[in-house]
Amino acid sequence: MKALRWFGILMLLSAPSLWPADELFELKQVVPGVYAAIAKEQYKVNCNAAVILLDDSVLVVDTHSKPSAARALQAQIKTITDKPVKFVVNTHFHWDHYQGNQAYLDTWPKDVQIISSEATRENIEQRGIPRVKHEIIAVPKEIEKLKDDLAKASDPQQKATIQENLRQTEEYLEELKSMRVTLPTMTFDRSLIMYQKSRVVEILWLGRAHTEGDVFVYLPNEKVIASGDALQGYMPYMADGYPYDWIKTLENAERLDFDYVIGGHGDVMRGKAQFELWKSYIGDLMAETADAYAQGATMAEAEKSVAARLQPLYANKFPPRVFEQSVIGTIQKAYRVVSASTE
């Protein structure tokens, strides 16, 4: 294992309103001392978190899309333990998994270490920070669109939904403006293993998948794994992914001995059925898209033909409406990969 490297932290203290924890998360005990904070549906989405009680501290996996959400979870953690959070893991660099980092340094400035793979830290610096800056420019346009939709809406329920979405988006923009990206303070190449009296925690990079830096947090004695978005309760999101590698990485993770999976989104999963579903879907997606491309299909043509082939096989295997909402994006990524316009 490459030697651990310690880094400085970019911080800016800010104090937007604290979300009521029970509005954002349902805290479920998976096994004694290990909890899944399942994110409730929001217009500005948050990821799940894993909360792991250690000897004299707490380890939290992923920090959501904004510091206020992280603070809301902190309040909920304090209802189950008085131990401080000393370790935070970022499973990958996507906004809804790391943008709450600064809240942990705000609360425990001298004690918290934020852990990620080396690739994830680099991706936050090189891709995450530009995306935050882009969001500050793009979100006002989204706000204007929501205001326009609100003015045109006549159905009371629709108006209430748009109004709530508008509120969340305006608060999110204000938080983005005051937020300074907080980078991981400790990185590793392949694995970082924490040995405590109460439990062993293995933080593992098993290959490229949803991003190049995805890590799994594995509790071998409790048989629990937290998988970030390398495996979650919906469909693969592939924009920054590596589909062929992803299948191999899921195979590597599947060799671990576990009963419970805390994914980045959706409910806690049992066993390895979701691994098999995702491997099958990604494999068929790539094979069907490669065949369409080989026959001269444009991306638009492949979207139609591949979706039609995948629909009877997979539409009913994912939660309602998820296949319809996500399949075209996965085909577009697959087409870019097989046509060599991206990895």
**Are 91 and 232 within 8 A, CB to CB?**
no
Q: Do 81 and 206 sit in the same domain of this protein?
A: yes
The answer to whether residues 87 and 231 belong to one domain is yes
Nearest partner of 238 among 308, 142, 338, 309, judged by Cα = 338
- Give the domain extent around 266: 9-120+182-270
Tens-level pLDDT at each residue, the chain (343 residues): 333 333 333 333 333 444 454 679 999 999 999 999 999 999 999 999 999 999 999 999 999 999 999 999 999 999 999 999 999 999 999 999 999 999 999 999 989 999 999 999 999 999 999 999 999 999 999 999 999 999 999 999 999 999 999 999 999 999 999 998 999 999 999 999 999 999 999 999 999 999 999 999 999 999 999 999 999 999 999 999 999 999 999 999 999 999 999 999 999 999 999 999 999 999 999 999 999 999 999 999 999 999 999 999 999 999 999 999 999 999 999 999 999 987 6
Tell me if 212 is assigned to some domain.
Answer: yes
At residue 311, the pLDDT reads 97
Q: State residue 295 phi and psi, 5-degree precision.
A: -90, 5
Q: What is the CATH number of the domain that holds 49?
A: 3.60.15.10
- C-alpha 169/C-alpha 276 separation (Å) is 36
Rounded to whole angstroms, the Cα distance separating 162 from 153 reads 9
Contacts of 68 (CB under 8 A, 6+ apart): 16, 17, 18, 19, 100, 103, 171, 175
Both 189 and 243 in one domain: the answer is yes
Residues in contact with 284: Cβ distance below 8 Å, sequence separation at least 6, in sequence order: 310, 313, 314
Say if 79 falls within a structural domain.
yes
pTM of the complete model beyond 0.95: no
Q: How many domains does the chain divide into?
A: 2
257 within some domain: yes
Whether 25 and 41 map to the same domain: the answer is: yes
CA distance 299 to 304: 9
Same domain? 209 vs 334: no
